[in-house]
Amino acid sequence: MPFTTSRGPFPATRMRRLRASAFARDLVRETALSPADFIFPVFVLEGSNQREAVPSMPGIERLSIDLLVAQAREVASLGIPALALFPVVPAERKSLDASEAWRSDGLVQRTVAALKDAVPELGVLTDVALDPYTTHGQDGIIDEAGYVLNDVTSEALVRQALSHAEAGADVVAPSDMMDGRIGAIRQELEAQGHSNTLIMSYAAKYASSYYGPFRDAVGSAGNIKGGNKHSYQMDPGNSDEALHECALDLAEGADMIMVKPGMPYLDIVRRVKDELKVPTFAYQVSGEYAMHKAAFQQGWLSQEAVMLESLLAFKRAGCDGILTYFAVEAAKALQ
């Protein structure tokens, strides 16, 4: 009689009772995903009616402003609260001083204005960093040796952030990892009457090798002088340092902090959330998206289930929201 047991001390706690029916599983689930958890990163191009695929990011396209506005309407209708905007800057607009970054009629500034005009309820985050605008692909202004100069770069970032706020950006998101730039940007925003402009700091941004497809998307892959960003982005071996970085940016006036990349760094998210208890975000970066998509295309992983599980993991780790290239697909799956 292999399927009967002798009577006898039964387990007082049967963990499986709450897993035995769908209603009970729904009742006790600790974490859930909603479209309101997502921020959708988008790439904007010059021109009109322009659409370019990004080969290493299947399903993601660079769009001209007119097409991006149409996409933004769809994003808002899916219940996604915000976009994060990244420009594809033509080579002839790049320079050593990155002055294109704060031109009032630059691509980002025009895109922000068009988005806020057409879809005012959709939050717009802008990337504050010089890498799309420098000829050498580093996130700041460099000296003769190629070292990124902190305080000179910070001044440029202040100009860039102010130009985004003036164009109507809801959130400026410095991704450059210069020291002191959050405080400098906050001071200038206050001084210029933008006291409600939010700052989401890329506070713990690691010198990761998962950013490759993004650099393909914005066309900065080929030209990173020196080959890496180790003198300002964090060492992947460090964890305490992430808390220090986040605490500094909060003290300087950040409203929200971000850990980047995402899935390989969810231990950092958990520590930040537990210790600082502030609005915490993570970026599921291009390489994470690319490796999922590659496996989906091979039929090696099941697309919808794995996508949603990957995003749920961010919530469980403590994220209040997730920057993800899956935002639209995931929001559709959750409708």
Ligand X SMILES: NCC(=O)CCC(=O)O
Query: Would you please indicate which residues are annotated as catalytic (active-site) residues?
Result: 205, 260
249 belongs to the binding site for ligand X (CB under 6 A): no
Nearest to 36, CA basis, from 272, 322, 325: 322
Provide φ and ψ at 204, rounded to 5°.
-120, 80
Instruction: Report what 161 binds from ligand X, Mg ion, none; CB cut-off 5-8 Å by kind.
Output: none
206 belongs to the binding site for ligand X (CB under 6 A): no
Q: Which residues are 156's β-sheet partners?
A: none
Q: Which residues are 53's β-sheet partners?
A: 61
Specify the residue, 44 or 129, whose C-beta has the smaller distance to ligand X: 129
How remote is the C-alpha of 112 from its chain's centroid?
A: 17
* Least distance (Å) between residue 327 CB and ligand X: 12
Among 56, 154, 175, 233, binds ligand X (CB under 6 A): 175
245 belongs to the binding site for ligand X (CB under 6 A): no
Site residues, Mg ion (CB under 5 A):
245
Annotated binding site for Mg(2+): 245
* Least distance (Å) between residue 188 CB and Mg ion: 17
Q: Pinpoint the alpha helices (H) of 204-282.
A: 212-218, 240-251, 266-276
Q: Rounded to the nearest 5 degrees, what angle is found at the Cα of 253, between the Cα atoms of 288 and 279?
A: 45
Give the whole-angstrom CA distance, residue 292 versus residue 303.
8
CA dihedral over 274, 279, 285, 291, signed as positive or negative = positive
Instruction: Report what 245 binds from Mg ion, ligand X, none; CB cut-off 5-8 Å by kind.
Output: Mg ion
70-129 binders of ligand X (CB under 6 A):
127, 129
Specify the residue, 108 or 285, whose C-beta has the smaller distance to ligand X: 285
Specify the residue, 221 or 312, whose C-beta has the smaller distance to ligand X: 221
Cβ(271)–Cβ(217) below 8 Å: no
322 belongs to the binding site for ligand X (CB under 6 A): no
Q: How many other C-beta atoms are found inside a 10 Å radius of the C-beta of residue 316? A: 14
# chain residues binding ligand X, by CB under 6 A: 8
State the residues that interact with ligand X by CB under 6 A: 127, 129, 175, 211, 214, 285-287
